[in-house]
Chains A and B, each alone.
Chain A
Amino acid sequence: MNDVLLTVGAPPLYCLYLDKPMRDHVLLQAIARVNRPYVDKESVQKKVGLVVDFVGVLRELKKALQFDSLDVSGLIEDLDLLLVDFKAKIAKAASEYLDAGDEGGADERLERLVYGRFMDRDVRKAFFESYQEIEDLWEILSPSPELREYIVAFKRLTVLYAAVRNAYAEKIGFIADLAHKTRRLIEGSATQEQLGRLTKAVTFDTKTLDTLRRDGGSDEGKVFNLVRGLQKEMDDDQNAAPLLQPLKDRAERILKDLQDRRTTGLAAMDLLATLAAEKDAAVKAAEESGLSRRAFAVSWSLKDDAALNCASVNSLDLAREAETISKRFPNATVNSDEQRRFRAALYRPLLKLPTADRTRIVDHILATLLG
């Protein structure tokens, strides 16, 4: 029934049978559906529509038709109130968040804003909340000629919102959630992807780092992009993940220090450069060893292990042996019996170690190789 009532461009209706109780606006719409005068191609006029009421709802019609000019004026008052609220809020937000000075191009100004005060989590939270309120008001009030003079400010706030959301997202390619009308407003001038242009996938290695250092733009932004690049590398290659995880943990700590303002963008870049050098060395050594990435991660993570060194077990030899053993148990990940036998075989090269260390290292090898 509702489909029939609301369809735009539906064929003219001459007669309406009311067979279920309706009231208020639903009843009003139903009656209005049969109430439209119409002239067809052969100039046959429809002047009246017939309503056949089987349930006695016409008693309700009187009430439905009294729709109150009071209701309508009430709604208009509400909208006026909201417009005042909107104006106050957008003016406050614009003066608070949109001022980035006059230096540099639009992109640079945006980047300065995003990696400036928004580094602080609480500032971001307050900004998101205040933007959400403004966006909600926009969705309610638009379209309205009263909003015209605020389009520019609202667009800039939206671009900033999306850019901040994207810049501090954990993964690249995050797309900020914008409400329907707002998205349409933005679509003319910028795509969502463009809004995310501050977030780039950059490879985490010394070469990229050097290139980045020579580029303009904020160091903070580069740190975020580098750490995200490392995350992406781990997501893309599950086998490289065990080797990269310790580096990632340290990179995350640097990022956190930066966010808590315990370090500067420049200093963070230096620390990341050290990590990148370590990573390059690890990757190079991994290739030379001829081991699989996972097996190499075993050797790399145990190379400074005190217990191993004490028993003069070479971590690279251990990793190589572990890999050879692992080939005998290809289903160890899923088959618990195979896994048990794999574990038992791993104990053999570690017999010289004290029991506690032996167990710890075997656990570590299993976790690294089987994921």
Chain B
Amino acid sequence: MISERSNGELRERVVYWSKRLSVKPRLVRIQRMTRKWGSCSTSGTLTLAVDLAQQERAFQNFVVAHELLHLRVPNHGKLFKALMTVHVPEWRDLEASKKTVKK
């Protein structure tokens, strides 16, 4: 039950960020992931780790925005980083905190 509710919250995040970034993921999957918080394929499949729901809201935003932004910019170049800064200004700190969050 808990996981269904938290999945719902994560999906809400995805809807919010999809609108804000004007992208349309083809499929959103929330599943157990052991090494990453999320991934995004060129065909438009967004995958999020199920335990992301237990993380703080700011970190969830960072992961969801990061993955969805890949539908716009498929790499981690200057453009990607600049857009991340516009949408999630504190993303560098969150990225640094990623290492301390045990995955």
Chain A residues close to B by CB (< 8 Å): 74-75, 77-78, 81-82, 85, 133, 136-137, 139-140
Contact = CB atoms under 8 A, between A and B. Distances in A.
Given A78-B72, A133-B82, A136-B81, 19 more contacts: A74-B22, A74-B23, A74-B72, A75-B72, A77-B22, A78-B83, A81-B83, A81-B86, A82-B83, A82-B86, A85-B82, A85-B85, A85-B86, A133-B85, A136-B78, A136-B82, A139-B78, A140-B79, A140-B82
Question: A interface, by DSSP: helix, strand, loop or mixed?
Answer: helix
Contacts of B83: 78, 81-82
Contacts of B22: 74, 77
14 contacts: A74-B72, A77-B22, A78-B72, A78-B79, A78-B83, A82-B86, A85-B82, A85-B86, A133-B82, A133-B85, A136-B82, A139-B78, A140-B79, A140-B82
A137 B81 CA distance: 10
Nearest to A78: B83
Interface string B1-39: 000000000000000000000110000000000000000
Interface of B: 22-23, 72, 78-79, 81-83, 85-86
Contacts of B81: 136
Contacts of A133: 82, 85
A131 to B, nearest CB: 14
A136 B82 CA distance: 7
Nearest to A84: B86
B72 A137 contact: no
